C-alpha cells in the first residue's frame, strides 16, 4: 500500500502564513523552513503564540477561514501540499499524515464510541470491512498499552481518564500507519508521571512503526528526550535549527541561550546562581520590531545593524545542519559565564509561624450527582493526617499531582473550609475550625494566596489599581483613599510593574503581568504566609523565571513564609528549603530539599523525579515508568495509597503494602518517609539523576 519513497518525508521551505482579521493581517509564521527525514523525530520549541501550532495546521492545510499560506511550499514526499485538491488532501489526511492535539478530551467525539471513532480510519482510507477495522482497532489499542482493549473500544470518551484518552488519540493517529505524525503539545494537559509514560510510548511506537515525527512542545526537556533534531521558534520565525546536541550544547542564537538560562536546571540555586529571566515581553505579531524580532530583548543587540532589515538564516560554518538567524553569532562569546548579577545571602529561617498537626479533611459527596439516591454518600479523604511546621522566611514546597489534596489543604488553611480533625496553629493560635468570616482582619491579611491561572485570578471588569485598593480597604490599610492609592502604587513598584498599570483593565495585561498583580494583591496586607498554588505553571518559560524571582525577592525582604505548591520538581528543587511530597491526600515524604532529592527516596518521589524532563544533555536519568493512572480519591486503594503503581511493592514481604497504611518513618535529620520498605532496600536506592562530569 505505502509507496516506497526515500527522500525527505516533509520539506517545508520558506513558509509564510498569515491570518486575516478585520483590522489587519497577522503574519503568524514567516520564512520558516524545516525538513523531516524518514524515521526521524524533529522538535519544534517556542513560547506560546510563536506560531508552532500554525505550522502544524499549515502542514495539514487546515488553517480555518481566515488563515492563508502566503508564501513558500510544503512538500510531503516530494508533492506540494499547497497544490493538492481537497479530495487529494482528504486521502492523505489520516492515512499518510496524522495529527495529535493537546487536549485529549476535546479531540474525541463525546457522543461516539471509541471503537467507532478508531474503526472509521481504515474504513475510509482502505475500504476495510467492519470486521477488519475492528481487529485493527483492537490491535492498536493493545499496542498503546491500554488494559482490556475490548471494553475500551465499547466505551465513550468520558468514561476514560485523561491519560487513557490521550493514548486513544495516539492509537487513532496510528490506525493507518502514517508516514508522518504531528504531535502538538501532546502531554501538556497530563500529570507528570502520566506524561512520562505517554512520551515513552510515543518513542517506542515511533521506532516500531518507523514513523517520522514533528514534535511540538514548549518544554525543552521533553524535546531532548524525544527528538533527534530541533528547531527553535521565536515570534513566527525559526531562529535556530540543528541536531539536539548542536543546539543544546553549542547554541548559536541569543534567544536559545536566554531560554536555557531562564529554566531551572540541576545546579541552579536561588541564592548563589539564580535564574535569569528574559527582559521584556513577547511581541504581538503586529507589533514586531524592525529587523531582528528578538532585538528589543537581546543582550547582544547592536543598533543600526540588528534593526536594519530582515535577517535570514545563516549556516553555522563547519556544520551544514546547524543554522541560526542571528547577525552576530560569530562575534558572540558563547562560552562566557552568565552574569549572575546579585548573589544574595541565603536568609536564615526564623521561628515557627505555622504548624499543622494531624490535619484531616474529609468530604462527604453524593455517589452520583444527578441520579444519586439520598443518603448514598461517600467519604473522600482529601487530606489524611498532615503534619508539618513552617518557619519565617522559609520556602516549603508541596509537591504532588492532580488529586493529591494540595488545593484542599490550601482551602483549609485559608479558612474557606474547616478541618475535619487535627489542628492548625498560626502563632500558636488554633485556626483550623475558624471559617474565614470569623477570622479577624489581621489573621486574614496574614495568610494570603497566589492563584494558578493568571487569566482567572483578576476580576476582568475592574481596573488593576481598584482591585489592589479594595484589598487594602478590606485589610484596613490606610486611613483615606489618598493613602491607599499611594500604598497601591508602592505595591505596583514592589512587583516591578509601571505605575501607569493602575488604570489598566486586566485584559490589557500579559499573563506574567497579571500574575504580578495577583502577587501585589496578596501582599497588600503585609501577608506573612503566602500560599502560592502553582503560580508559574501556566506561564511561559521566559516569564516563569521572572515571576519566581520576584516571589523570592519579596520573600527575602519581608521574611515571608512561602508555601509553594507545584508539580514541577525542577522549580521546587531550585527554590525551596524544604519539600513535602503528597500522594492521594497522604504526605509520603517530608524533608529538606537535599534530603528529598537524594536517595533514599520514597518510591513515589523516585518515580516523580524520573518523570520530570530535564533540558540538559549532561544529565542521565533512570527511566521509571509508572503503570496506570492516579487512582481516584473517591475510590482509593487499600493499604498504601501508592501500591497500585509502586515498583518496590514486591520487596515488602507479606503483602503488607496492600493491607496496612504504612507509618511515617523518621530517617533522621527530620527526613520522614511513609513506606513499608526495609532499611536495606531504602539504602540500596540509587540516585535517579546523575550529572556527568564536564
Partner 1 sequence: MEPLGWFDILTRIFMQFMPVWIALVVLFTLSIVYKRRLGLYGKLFDSTIGMVGFGLVMFWVFTGIFGAFDLIITHDPLAQVSSMKNKPPGTPIMGAEDGQYPYYLFGGDNLARDVFSRMVKGAWVVVQIAPLATLFAFMVGITLGLPAGYYGGKLDTLLSFLANLILAFPVILLFYLLVTPEIVDTGIPNYMAMVLFIFPLVFVAVLLNSRYRTQPAVRTPLLIGVLGVMGWLYLSLISQPGTAITVLPDALDLFNLQGGILVVFVSVVFVNSPTVFRIVRGLAMDIKTRDYVAAAQTRGERPWYIMLWEILPNARGPLIVDFCLRIGYTTILLGTLGFFGLGLPPESPDWGTTINDGRRLLQIYLHPAMVPAFALLSMVLGLNLLADGLREESLRD
Partner 2 sequence: MAFFLLRRIGTMLLTALCLTFIVFWLTNLAPNLEKLAKNQGNVRMTDEQVASFLQDRGYAQPLPLKYAQWLGVAPGWVIEGRDGTTRSRCNGVLENGVPPENARSFCGVLQGDWGYSTVFQDGVGSIIATRLGLTGKLMFWVMMVMVPGALIIGVLAGMREGSRTDRTLSTVSIITTATPEYVSGVVFIAVFASTAFGLRWFNGSATSAMEDATFENFTLPVMTIALYGMGYIARMTRASMAEVMTAQYIRTARLKGVSFPNIVMKHALRNALIAPFTVIMLQFPWLLNGVVIVETLFNYKGFGWTLVQAAGNNDIELLLGVSVVSVFVVLITQLISDIGYVYLNPRISVS
Ligand X SMILES: Nc1ncnc2c1ncn2[C@@H]1O[C@H](COP(=O)(O)OP(=O)(O)OP(=O)(O)O)[C@@H](O)[C@H]1O
* Chain positions contacting Mg ion, by CB under 5 A: 53
Does residue 439 touch partner 1 according to CB under 8 A? Answer: yes
**Cα separation, 196 vs 401, whole angstroms:** 13
Does residue 621 touch partner 1 according to CB under 8 A? Answer: no
Q: Are 347 and 559 in contact (CB under 8 A)?
A: yes
Does residue 94 touch partner 2 according to CB under 8 A? Answer: yes
Q: What, of ligand X, Mg ion, ligand SF4, none, does residue 388 touch, CB below 5 to 8 Å by kind?
A: none
User: How many Å separate Cα 610 from the centre of its chain?
Assistant: 15
Signed CA dihedral, 495, 497, 498, 503: sign only: negative
* Residue position matching grid coordinates 518515580: 607
Nearest distance from C-beta of residue 524 to partner 1, angstroms: 8
Stretch that binds partner 2, among 29-37, 108-116, 198-206, 326-334 (CB under 8 A): 108-116
> Footprint of partner 1 on residues 447-486 (CB under 8 A)?
447-449, 451-453, 456-462, 471, 473-476
If residue 11 lies in a helix (H) or strand (E), which one and from where to where?
Answer: strand 10-20
CA distances (Å), origin 545, targets 295, 343, 537, 684: 20, 16, 11, 36
Nearest distance from C-beta of residue 117 to ligand SF4, angstroms: 36
Q: What, of partner 1, partner 2, ligand X, none, does residue 48 touch, CB below 5 to 8 Å by kind?
A: ligand X
Signed CA dihedral, 419, 590, 388, 528: sign only: negative
Nearest distance from C-beta of residue 286 to ligand X, angstroms: 9
**Cα separation, 482 vs 472, whole angstroms:** 12
**Cα separation, 676 vs 653, whole angstroms:** 9
Helix 162-174 vs helix 130-143: crossing angle, to nearest 10: 130
Nearest distance from C-beta of residue 23 to partner 1, angstroms: 10
Question: Which residues lie near ligand X (CB under 6 A)?
Answer: 19, 21, 26, 28, 46, 48-54, 64, 66-67, 218, 285
Nearest distance from C-beta of residue 12 to partner 2, angstroms: 18
Stretch that binds partner 1, among 132-140, 233-241, 519-527, 677-685 (CB under 8 A): 519-527
Q: What, of partner 2, partner 1, ligand SF4, none, does residue 120 touch, CB below 5 to 8 Å by kind?
A: partner 2
Does residue 107 touch partner 2 according to CB under 8 A? Answer: yes
Peptide bond into 600 cis (omega under 30): yes
The size of the interface with partner 2 (CB under 8 A), counted in residues, is 33
Nearest to 256 by CA among 278, 284, 228, 287: 278
Nearest distance from C-beta of residue 178 to partner 2, angstroms: 11
Under DSSP, is residue 35 helix (H, G, I), strand (E, B) or coil? strand
Nearest distance from C-beta of residue 9 to partner 2, angstroms: 17
Nearest distance from C-beta of residue 224 to ligand SF4, angstroms: 23
Q: Are 38 and 295 in contact (CB under 8 A)?
A: no
Q: What, of partner 1, ligand X, ligand SF4, none, does residue 131 touch, CB below 5 to 8 Å by kind?
A: none
Question: Which residues lie near ligand SF4 (CB under 6 A)?
Answer: 254, 292, 294-295, 298, 300-301, 306, 311, 326-328, 603, 640, 642-643, 646, 648-649, 652, 657, 662, 675-677
User: How many Å separate Cα 514 from the centre of its chain?
Assistant: 18
**Nearer Cβ to partner 1, position 166 or 452?**
452
The upper half-sphere exposure of residue 447, i.e. CA atoms within 13 Å in the direction of its Cβ, equals 23
From its phi and psi, is residue 417 left (phi > 0), alpha (psi between -120 and 50) or beta?
beta
Nearest to 586 by CA among 406, 419, 416: 406
Q: What, of ligand X, partner 1, Mg ion, none, does residue 596 touch, CB below 5 to 8 Å by kind?
A: none
**Nearer Cβ to Mg ion, position 53 or 643?**
53
| DSSP H helical ranges for 540-586 | 541-558, 569-575
Q: Which of 1, 336, 370, 500 binds partner 2 (CB under 8 A)?
A: 370
Q: What, of partner 2, ligand X, partner 1, none, does residue 437 touch, CB below 5 to 8 Å by kind?
A: partner 1
Helix 511-522 vs helix 481-494: crossing angle, to nearest 10: 130
**Cα separation, 120 vs 128, whole angstroms:** 9
- Which residues form the interface with partner 2 (CB under 8 A)? 60, 62, 65, 90-95, 98-99, 101, 103, 106-112, 120-121, 124-125, 156, 158, 169, 172, 368, 370-373
- Which residues form the interface with partner 1 (CB under 8 A)? 22, 414-416, 436-437, 439, 441, 444-445, 447-449, 451-453, 456-462, 471, 473-476, 507, 518, 521, 524-525
Amino acid at each position: 500500500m505505502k509507496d516506497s519513497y526515500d527522500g525527505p518525508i516533509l520539506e517545508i521551505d520558506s513558509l509564510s502564513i498569515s491570518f486575516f482579521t478585520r483590522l489587519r493581517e497577522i503574519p503568524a509564521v514567516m520564512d520558516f523552513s524545516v525538513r523531516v527525514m524518514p524515521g526521524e523525530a524533529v522538535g519544534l520549541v517556542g513560547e506560546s503564540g510563536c506560531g508552532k501550532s500554525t505550522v502544524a495546521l499549515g502542514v495539514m492545510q487546515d488553517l480555518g477561514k481566515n488563515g492563508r499560506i502566503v508564501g513558500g511550499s510544503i512538500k510531503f514526499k516530494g508533492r506540494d501540499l499547497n497544490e493538492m485538491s481537497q479530495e487529494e488532501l482528504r486521502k492523505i489526511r489520516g492515512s499518510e499524515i496524522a495529527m495529535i492535539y493537546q487536549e485529549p478530551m476535546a479531540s474525541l467525539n463525546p457522543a461516539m464510541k471509541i471503537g467507532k471513532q478508531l474503526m472509521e480510519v481504515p474504513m475510509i482510507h482502505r475500504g476495510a470491512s467492519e470486521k477488519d477495522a475492528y481487529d485493527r482497532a483492537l490491535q492498536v489499542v493493545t499496542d498503546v498499552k491500554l488494559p482490556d482493549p475490548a471494553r475500551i473500544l465499547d466505551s465513550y470518551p468520558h468514561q476514560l481518564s485523561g491519560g487513557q484518552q490521550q493514548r486513544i488519540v495516539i492509537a487513532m493517529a496510528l490506525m493507518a500507519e502514517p508516514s508522518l505524525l504531528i504531535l502538538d503539545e501532546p502531554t501538556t494537559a497530563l500529570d507528570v508521571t502520566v506524561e512520562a509514560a505517554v512520551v515513552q510510548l510515543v518513542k517506542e511506537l515511533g521506532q516500531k512503526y518507523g514513523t517520522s515525527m514533528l514534535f511540538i512542545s514548549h518544554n525543552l526537556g521533553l524535546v531532548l528526550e524525544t527528538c533527534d533534531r530541533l528547531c527553535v521558534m521565536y515570534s513566527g520565525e525559526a531562529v535556530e535549527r540543528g541536531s539536539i546536541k548542536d543546539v543544546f550544547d553549542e547554541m548559536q542564537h541569543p534567544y536559545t541561550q536566554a531560554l536555557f538560562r531562564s529554566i531551572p536546571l540541576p545546579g541552579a540555586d536561588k541564592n548563589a546562581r539564580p535564574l535569569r529571566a528574559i527582559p521584556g515581553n513577547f511581541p504581538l505579531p503586529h507589533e514586531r520590531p524592525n529587523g531582528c524580532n528578538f532585538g528589543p530583548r537581546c543582550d547582544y543587540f547592536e543598533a543600526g545593524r540588528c534593526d536594519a532589515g530582515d535577517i535570514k538564516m545563516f549556516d553555522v560554518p563547519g556544520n551544514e545542519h546547524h543554522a541560526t538567524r542571528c547577525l552576530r553569532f560569530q562575534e558572540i562569546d558563547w562560552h562566557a559565564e552568565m552574569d549572575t548579577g546579585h548573589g544574595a545571602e541565603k536568609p536564615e529561617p526564623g521561628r515557627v509561624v505555622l504548624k499543622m498537626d494531624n490535619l484531616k479533611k474529609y468530604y462527604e459527596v453524593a455517589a452520583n450527582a444527578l441520579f444519586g439516591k439520598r443518603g448514598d454518600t461517600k467519604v473522600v479523604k482529601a487530606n489524611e493526617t498532615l503534619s508539618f511546621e513552617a518557619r519565617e522566611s522559609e520556602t516549603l514546597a508541596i509537591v504532588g499531582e492532580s488529586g493529591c489534596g494540595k488545593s484542599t489543604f490550601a482551602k483549609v488553611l485559608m479558612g474557606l473550609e474547616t478541618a475535619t480533625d487535627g489542628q492548625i496553629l498560626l502563632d500558636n493560635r488554633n485556626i483550623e475550625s475558624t471559617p474565614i468570616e470569623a477570622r479577624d482582619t489581621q489573621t486574614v491579611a496574614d495568610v494570603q494566596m497566589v492563584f494558578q491561572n493568571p487569566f482567572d485570578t483578576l476580576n476582568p471588569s475592574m481596573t488593576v489599581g481598584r482591585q489592589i485598593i479594595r484589598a487594602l480597604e478590606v485589610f484596613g490599610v490606610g486611613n483615606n483613599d489618598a493613602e491607599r492609592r499611594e500604598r497601591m502604587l508602592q505595591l505596583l513598584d514592589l512587583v516591578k510593574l509601571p505605575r501607569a498599570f493602575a488604570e489598566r483593565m486586566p485584559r490589557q495585561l500579559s499573563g506574567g503581568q497579571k500574575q504580578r498583580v495577583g502577587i501585589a494583591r496578596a501582599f497588600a496586607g503585609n501577608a506573612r504566609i503566602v500560599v502560592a498554588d502553582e503560580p508559574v505553571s501556566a506561564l511561559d518559560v521566559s516569564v516563569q523565571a521572572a515571576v519566581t524571582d520576584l516571589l523570592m525577592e519579596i520573600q527575602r525582604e519581608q521574611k515571608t513564609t512561602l508555601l509553594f505548591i507545584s508539580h514541577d520538581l525542577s522549580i521546587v528543587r531550585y527554590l525551596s528549603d524544604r519539600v513535602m511530597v503528597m500522594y492521594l491526600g497522604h504526605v509520603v515524604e517530608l524533608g529538606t530539599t537535599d534530603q528529598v532529592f537524594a536517595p533514599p527516596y520514597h518510591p513515589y518521589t523516585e518515580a516523580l523525579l524520573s518523570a520530570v524532563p530535564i533540558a540538559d544533555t549532561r544529565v542521565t536519568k533512570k527511566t521509571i515508568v509508572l503503570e496506570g493512572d492516579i487512582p481516584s480519591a473517591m475510590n482509593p486503594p487499600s493499604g498504601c495509597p501508592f501500591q497500585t503503581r509502586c515498583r518496590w511493592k514486591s520487596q515488602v514481604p507479606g503483602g503488607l503494602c496492600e493491607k496496612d497504611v504504612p507509618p511515617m518513618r523518621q530517617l533522621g535529620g527530620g527526613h520522614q518517609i511513609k513506606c513499608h520498605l526495609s532499611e536495606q532496600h531504602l539504602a540500596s536506592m540509587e540516585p535517579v539523576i546523575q550529572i556527568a562530569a564536564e
